[in-house]
Structure formats: C-alpha cells, structure tokens
Amino acid sequence: MAHQNASGTATSLTRQGQSNSTGDARALYLKLFSGEMFKGFQHNAIARDLLMKRTLKNGKSLQFIYTGRTTSEFHTPGKPILGNSDGAPPVAEKTITVDDLLISSAFLYELDEVLAHYDLRSEISRKIGYALAEKYDRLAFRAVTRGARAASPITKTNFVEPGGTQIRVGATTNDSDAYVPANLVNAFYDAAAALDEKGVSTDGRVAVLNPRQYYELIQQTGDSGLVNRDEQGTSRQKGNGIVEIAGIKIYKSMNIPFLGKYGTAYGGTTGVTSPTNVGSFVGVTAEDADDGQTGLNNDYGTATQLGAKSCGLIFQREAAGVVESIGPQVQVTKGDVSVIYQGDVILGRLACGADYVNPAAAVELYVGASAPSAF
C-alpha cells in the first residue's frame, strides 16, 4: 500500500498483521490471539491429560461400556462349549452427556488497542484460556470425587465389581491433618495397595493435591528417594508429576474439591495462615462456583454433597471420562459487525461433559471422623 510522504514521494506501509502483505490487516493478529488462548488453556487444564478423553460428533452423549470379570471352569468331555454357565462376564454402561456450551468472552474496543502500549489481545486471550481451563478441571475433578464414593456399575450377583475408595488422612479430627507429610505418605501407600487389590492398572496412576499440601510434601520427602533422581532443581517445585510416591505421580491444582472450597481453605484450618488480599477467586466455595448453574447436564454434586472434608484425589486414568463435542476454540467478530461497534467480540468456547467411569480407579482423601457420603 503506497502513501505520499511530506516530500511527495511514494512510500510503502508495512502492515504487520497482513498475510503476505495482502488481505485483512489483522489476519495474523487474530491467529496470534488464538494461539495465546490455546496456550493458556493447555498450560492450566491438567485433567485433560490425566483422564480418558473422547471426542463426540453428531450426538449429545457418549456410551462407555464396562465389562466385569468372568470365571474359568473345567471342560466336561463331549459337552459343547457355549459360554460359561453363569453368563459371565456381566456388562454395564456409563453414559456421559455433553454440558451446554461453555464460553468466556470480551469486547475489545478498537481505540483502546490504538492507545494501549501493550498487546491487549494477547493478554485477554490468556485470561479466556485460564477461565475455560479452570471450569474444565473443576468439573472433571468433581467427577472423580463422585466416583471415589460410588459402587461399581456391575451389580450381577456373585460378580459385583469393586467400587471407589476413601482413605482417611491422619488420625485426628483436625483439618490440619491434610497438610502433614507423614500422613499424606501413609495415605498414598494405602491408596496404592487398595488400587492393586482392586485390580487397577499401575499405568497412569496420579494424585492431585492442593498447592500447600504439595509444597509441604516435597520439603519433607524431596531427598528421601521419592523423587525421580533425573529431575532436580526447579522441576520439583512445578507440581507436574515429577514427584512420585508408591508409583503415583503427584500434581498440584487449585481446582480440586478441598475442605469445602476449590483448592484451598482459609479460615478455621488449624496451622494454615491465610495470605492477605486473596481477592474474589481464591478459596471460592464449590457452591459459589457451580451450584445452581444452568447448563450442567451431568451430576457434579452440590457443595453440600461434596462436603467439607475432602482433601485430595488419587486415581488412574480410567476413573473418569471427559467427552468433548467442541474442543477449545476461538471466534472473533469481523466485517460489518466490527464496523458498527468499532471493536471485536473475542470468544473462547468449549462443549464438554465429565463423569466417573470406573469407580475402582478413584480414591478420595479425607480428614475427620467419617468419610464423605456418596451422591
């Protein structure tokens, strides 16, 4: 595109947002925004890689088939083999429905972009990715929690499969037991043994703790042989599965149900001091975040049902499934709409649903005198 400068000489204007110097002057900027949103989502949604994920097309729900165990028997000479006489193995199904469309959006005024000294789209993109990832993980971890309290879907007489597991952390009724490293280590070994006894594969076993639990744990166990010796330094601090106890990789997240909150519980927790100025998004209750919302088509439980004593999750990837009909996507207005409003609506969207699949693969850690009730 040529313009006249002060001397009347034609100059060429470089538009950094154009592809090959032609077409929409903002085309590449929009792609940059998309990339930032996906990075924000992927770096914060850990449940997506730890559980079974299926893509759903042309339907509203997906069926998971669960097959129970069978038996062996000796063959009687001359007797035709037509399957076991007890009709085993029994089969049950688990159906996961896609929740309504989950969105996070922002309107970006064009003049603000002109006046800003930083990239507004990049910053907003990350925040939209964070918002979608946070909801994704919260729903997925609630599904695992529900599974840890559930019986197996296989209920055939004499062939009942094992259900979920709940393990108490510590021996007192204090919430502070959830932060004691020795208590957590003991709970991990109990969980590993329970998963072994219930025939759950050792492949893909993970734990998700709240950040303070994680940091307490690695301070006490970092040099005791529980850490992969090939990983040193800051790798331990990241909470991305480097630390292992009983073959269970440990992650940290602010999105697990934890003492009636998400990820953390300040006030009334013995031995834990609340930082100042935590804002509106830290320590939010499950009820504030999810209960009563329209658009949830699976049972994720209420804050009351989740209770105030859950304090960590240990599971194998078969514990729960996530069904996605629309993966993380970005949509941006353009053309006449942008002209009329002199700006763009930037939208991140996702359509998914989660529920437990194999309860035997889910373990809930809790504190207090009795285990939280099933729902």
270-293 pLDDT tens trace: 667 777 787 777 767 655 445 557
Residue identified by tokens 């592809």 is 19
Structural domain contains residue 181:
yes
The confidence score (pLDDT) of residue 326 equals 92
Structural domain contains residue 72:
no
Q: How confident is the model at residue 144 (pLDDT cuts 50, 70, 90)?
A: very high
Structural domain contains residue 5:
no
Q: What is the pTM of this model?
A: 0.83
Structural domain contains residue 98:
yes
* Alpha helices per DSSP H over 225-348: 286-289, 303-306, 336-341
Query: Encoding tokens for residue 114?
Result: 């002109």
Q: Is the pLDDT of residue 15 over 90?
A: no
Q: How confident is the model at residue 17 (pLDDT cuts 50, 70, 90)?
A: low
Residue identified by tokens 């990049």 is 122
Q: For the segment 198-257, what is each residue's pLDDT rounded down to a tens digit?
A: 999 999 999 999 999 998 888 875 555 455 545 555 555 555 556 889 999 999 999 999
Q: How confident is the model at residue 81 (pLDDT cuts 50, 70, 90)?
A: confident
Query: Encoding tokens for residue 266?
Result: 């300040």
Tell me what percent of the residues of the chain surpass a pLDDT of 90. Answer: 42
Structural domain contains residue 73:
no
Tell me what percent of the residues of the chain surpass a pLDDT of 70. Answer: 79
Cα separation of 272 and 274, whole Å?
A: 6
Residue of higher predicted confidence among 306 and 41: 306
The confidence score (pLDDT) of residue 11 equals 45
The confidence score (pLDDT) of residue 23 equals 66
Which residues span the domain enclosing 213?
A: 27-67+91-366
Question: Which CATH number goes with the domain that contains 222?
Answer: 3.90.1690
**Dihedral sign, Cα of residue 353, residue 304, residue 285, residue 142:** negative
Residue of higher predicted confidence among 117 and 321: 321
- Tally of domains in the chain: 1
Structural domain contains residue 99:
yes
Mean pLDDT of the chain: 83
Structural domain contains residue 211:
yes
Structural domain contains residue 86:
no
| Element at 103 (helix H, strand E) | strand 102-109
